[in-house]
Structure 1
Amino acid sequence: MSSFRFNPENELDDEEKVTLTDEEGRTLECYVENSLDREDTTYVLLMPVDTPIVILAWDKEKDEEFSDAILIEDSEEIEQVFADAKAVLAELELTLKNTAYTLTASGELPPLEDEEVITLEIEAEEEELQFLASFYSQDQRYSIYTPLSPLLFLAKYDEKGELEMVSPDDQQMQPILEELLFEEIEE
């Protein structure tokens, strides 16, 4: 008897899906956007199945119109505001998930409106973000956004056949990343 189980969702998706796991045991389901075999190693370019989410805290000390946004990346702070953020997104029929490497949300995003887009400098690069919701937690104002650009991860299969993340900033990975991205654009 086979251990294979039919999953009707797999029938609808032509794209291959894989799961990334972080050090804390959290998982992130991703589509394989592209793959490349190089010297007995397979590298893959991955995009999350669900929508990536970022949470910003606003500087309380400044006037709201001119306030500075701070990207929340600390796992303890995310844990403190997660229930509030999840409740606010549930009102939009989105389910917030504390997944590996990024927060994600499943469900249909609201329509994109130009006045709901901000540009924020994240890690020395400008990123356009679509506003989803705001909330207060412990007298701090937070906003939830989703990046307009796709979030991509670079990974490779190790000797055991398991996926491990690879830093795209590693100089040795630059040619591989460029080839994966270039082939993605051509298709």
Structure 2
Amino acid sequence: MEFGLLCCYAAAKQRRGDGGGSPPATRKKKKPNNKSSGKSIIEDDFEIKKSGFEVLQSPSPSEELPYQPLPLPKPPAGFVLDDQGRVLMASNKRIATIVDSTNNFPLECVIRRVFRNSRGDECMLLCPVDMPVQILKSVNVEGWSAVSDEEVEAILPTAAYTLAKIHMHLVYSGFCYTARGGFCYTEDDIIEFHTDNGQDVDGLPTEGVEIACFHLDGSHYMIYTPSDPLLFVAVKDENGALQIADDELLDDPAIISAIDEETEFNALVEEEAALLESLLGKR
């Protein structure tokens, strides 16, 4: 599993100096699918479990089966729930900071999972507090391409002003640029990134949400955030500081298990949102 690539992908490329543009990405509006915007990074590999229901054949009156709800997935770190899903405890210590060794910029993250790897090291699954953002450049009427590191540095002031106009703040954070603030969007703002032959674009996620666009020196740019959560695996070193896990550690069964737990929880949240939307639509 190339989780390191999934964690940082193109957003990190603009911060870590990988450089170079990507092939044009075809802008394709996503059709409404009654799903919430938050998804798991490995949702395609996960079979969604429905909360509290099992698909069974109708039993005869003489052999009615008792109701057996599926077990609730493990909640994020800092929360304790009872068997019915009610919150018994919520910790206020759920923030951790990781530092990018290439520029010493910090990145504040929410702690999603706390666990130990197979070697006994304390590990965390982290998600940035602020919204990860990346800038793309229009290459034709319907295509977008990643911007080189040199060009990003030149256009950052204009990008920051574009975000400021919609009450958002560009943060020079570690590992990726982030934006602080909120914005509203619809299904029409969700974009699928594909090449002309339908293949995924190297260095870009499969989906993103358009935040804002701007023009500069005759070129058209788009600021977007990936649809899927940006997750990092961090390990505590001997001094207690958090370090991004090396790629060779990402196949550790304990790390894979933590990712699976996060995936299962995200799938439940998405299922609940779809169910609530369906119930409200019937009123």
Coarse TM-score class (shorter-chain normalised): 0.7 to 0.9
Structure 1: 4+ residue segments shifted above 4 A: none
> Is residue 258 of structure 2 the alignment partner of residue 183 of structure 1?
no
Output the aligned Cα RMSD.
2.2
> Is residue 172 of structure 2 the alignment partner of residue 98 of structure 1?
yes
CA contact (8 A) 1:47 1:152 kept: yes
Deviations 1:115-170 (A, max 9, x none): 11111135477521111111122322110111111110111111111111124xx3
* Residue in structure 1 matching 2:144, options 55, 69, 72: 69
Q: Give the AA of the match of 1:54.
A: Q
Higher relative contact order (Cα pairs below 8 Å, separated by 6+ residues): 2
Q: Which residue of 1 aligns with 2:190?
A: 117
Q: In 2, Cα distance between the equivalents of 1:144 and 1:13?
A: 34
Q: How does 1:1-187 map to 2 (within 5 A)?
A: 14=92, 16-22=94-100, 23-38=102-117, 39-59=119-139, 62=140, 64=141, 66=142, 68-72=143-147, 74=149, 76-110=150-184, 112-120=185-193, 121-123=200-202, 126-167=205-246, 170-174=247-251, 175-186=253-264
**Identity %, equivalent residues:** 28
Higher strand share: 1
Normalised by the size of structure 1, how large is the TM-score? 0.80
Name the SS for the 2:155 alignment partner. Answer: helix
Q: Which residue of 1 aligns with 2:37?
A: none
Structure 1: which 5+ runs fail to align?
Answer: 1-11
CA contact (8 A) 1:15 1:31 kept: no
Query: 117-126 vs 144-153, which deviates more?
Result: 117-126
Q: In 2, Cα distance between the equivalents of 1:126 and 1:51?
A: 15
